[in-house]
Amino acid sequence: MTSPPSAAPIGTLLLTGAAGTLGRVLAPALRPHCQRLLLSDLPAAMDLLAPAEGTETRPCDLADAAAVQRLLRGVDAVVHLGGVSVEKPFEPILQANIRGLYHLYEAARLAGTRRVVFASSNHVTGCYAQGERISPADPPRPDGYYGLSKLFGEGLASLYFDRYGVESVCLRIGTATPEPPDRRGLATWISHRDLAALVRASLTAPGVGFLVAYGMSGNARGWWDTGAAWAKLGFQPQDSSEPWADRLAHVHPPEGSAAARLQGGVFLDIGPFDDGTAAA
């Protein structure tokens, strides 16, 4: 007997960075919403993936253009988490986040992929002062090569919609941890439950075109204007950092340091690298 047709709104969904921290959170949350879920990560990371019913594994290095083209064949939508996820010297960021993202969008264009949900980051605007209210319309102020690579990704997403019709939602995710870790997290935290709902909304909202949205829970102390983008996505958070406010108010880097003053937090303590690659 053949099984009845699935009512899942998404056909074949590719999750990159599936073996990473958020990949392992999002895979089970996305599985019921697609007909087929492909889990991809670096070959060396595939052991971290727990096999689950209805999923298929696809090892792939995003730096390998031909492999990424094979990966995207038949894919309707992508949740793109793969890449370097912290501040690092330029070279690894160039390979995974800049070249890798170019390979992904080129492959999406060739495959006719409908939509990419791109895990951008709050570090695109990490040099704004903590407490300053900003929106996706404000000028970017990346706080390092990592944030800069996410800004490149947003530019690429814009280009591939305007020229080739590949839709993108770029989520400037805040701090996606089980609980907010410190005072900054009272503004930046997004619960795993809210993140999963935001990603699902980003995959299914009609006619998003190219959209940038901050990703946080319903934090009373948040810094980011989320109204217009969340309305377009039909997203409403269920969680808030407020229950941790008293406990975390005094958990922060030394007052006056860049990490305490600027929205990017401890990423401002990393670099310059002086690793010689600029002169090579």
Active site residues: 146
**How far apart, in Å, are the Cα atoms of 204 and each of 20, 91, 137?**
23, 35, 23
Shortest distance in whole angstroms from residue 235 CB to ligand NAI: 16
* Four-residue CA torsion sign, 69, 20, 22, 13: positive
Residue number with CB closer to ligand 15L (20 or 166): 20
Which residue number, 12 or 149, has a Cβ lying nearer to ligand 15L?
149
Query: Could you give the string, one character per residue 101-140, with x where binding to ligand 15L holds by CB under 6 A and - elsewhere?
Result: --------------------xxx-----------------
Q: Which does 61 bind (CB under 5 to 8 A by kind): ligand 15L, ligand NAI, none?
A: ligand NAI
Residue 85 touches ligand 15L, criterion: CB under 6 A: yes
Does 33 bind ligand 15L (CB under 6 A)? Our answer is: no
Indicate whether 217 belongs to the interface with ligand 15L (CB under 6 A): no
From CA 13, how far away is CA 39, in angstroms rounded? 9
Shortest distance, position 8 Cβ to ligand NAI, whole Å: 23
100 interacts with, out of ligand NAI, ligand 15L, none, CB within 5 to 8 A per kind: ligand NAI
- 188 binds, options ligand 15L, ligand NAI, none, Cβ within 5 to 8 A by partner type: ligand 15L
Spell out, one character per residue from 184 to 213, where the chain touches ligand 15L: x when CB under 6 A holds, - when not.
----x-------------------------
Q: Which residues bind ligand NAI (CB under 6 A)?
A: 17, 19-23, 41-42, 45, 61-63, 81-85, 96, 100, 119, 121, 173, 175-176
Report yes or no: 161 and 212 within 8 Å, Cβ to Cβ: no
Residue 80 in the binding site for ligand 15L (CB under 6 A) = no
**Least distance in Å: CB of 25 to ligand NAI?**
8
Tell me which residues touch ligand 15L (CB under 6 A). Answer: 85-86, 121-123, 175, 188, 265
